[in-house]
Chain A
Amino acid sequence: AAGVIQSPRHLIKEKRETATLKCYPIPRHDTVYWYQQGPGQDPQFLISFYEKMQSDKGSIPDRFSAQQFSDYHSELNMSSLELGDSALYFCASTLLQDRGADTQYFGPGTRLTVL
């Protein structure tokens, strides 16, 4: 079965640079979520999109922005990178049917290292 695809899998950037993470949801899924998992931490919700509109927002820095495109893939743009942005970034997708009970399917993550 098709899974959530994230690219790149690994990314190394310097401080103050920008990074773009991409997420391709499972086909026919209409909702995408982004989570950040710091070293030894649990995943923290950043932002979500439903039918290309932002649906919820968590602890996402103002330096980050995201969007969902017409083909439902999503991109997380990160600017003025800081050392503390080094983390594993997960994308998850779902087909919204039973709000709250729907299973979120996670991608393998993008490991961002900021030097």
Chain B
Amino acid sequence: AQSVTQLGSHVSVSEGALVLLRCNYSSSVPPYLFWYVQYPNQGLQLLLKYTSAATLVKGINGFEAEFKKSETSFHLTKPSAHMSDAAEYFCAVNRAAGNKLTFGGGTRVLVKP
């Protein structure tokens, strides 16, 4: 079955520091991969997605992610954290033959001043 694993349910970073959120997928075929952000009491907003066009994907709010097939990873990074980045981040996978998103457990990011 298609799945994603997010390493670390909580991440604390200082304002201005690098944000690194880890996501590994299990798939027998190249998947479609997504990163969503959820602010408190809000819906999920797409940050970026990988659809095989390019391995380095740039998204909104300065985030980017790199698809590494050899490592089955799709880690999310941002060079400099901002207080507004405090939220929960979900990695998700979608097979080409199916529509439903399967989410990882989520990583809650805390940004310290």
Contact = CB atoms under 8 A, between A and B. Distances in A.
Interface stretch (A12-20, A68-76, A78-86, A101-109): A101-109
A98 B99 CA distance: 10
A33 B32 CA distance: 17
Per DSSP, chain B at the interface is loop
Interface string B54-70: 00000000000000000
Contacts of A42: 90, 103-106
Contact of B46 (A45, A56, A96, A105): A105
A20 to B, nearest CB: 19
A29 to B, nearest CB: 13
Query: Chain A interface: which size bin?
Result: 20 to 34
A56 B101 contact: no
Interface residues of B, number: 25
Interface string A32-52: 010100000011110010100
A96 B43 CA distance: 21
Given A42-B104, A43-B90, A98-B51, A108 B42 contact: yes
A45 B101 contact: yes
Nearest to B91: A42
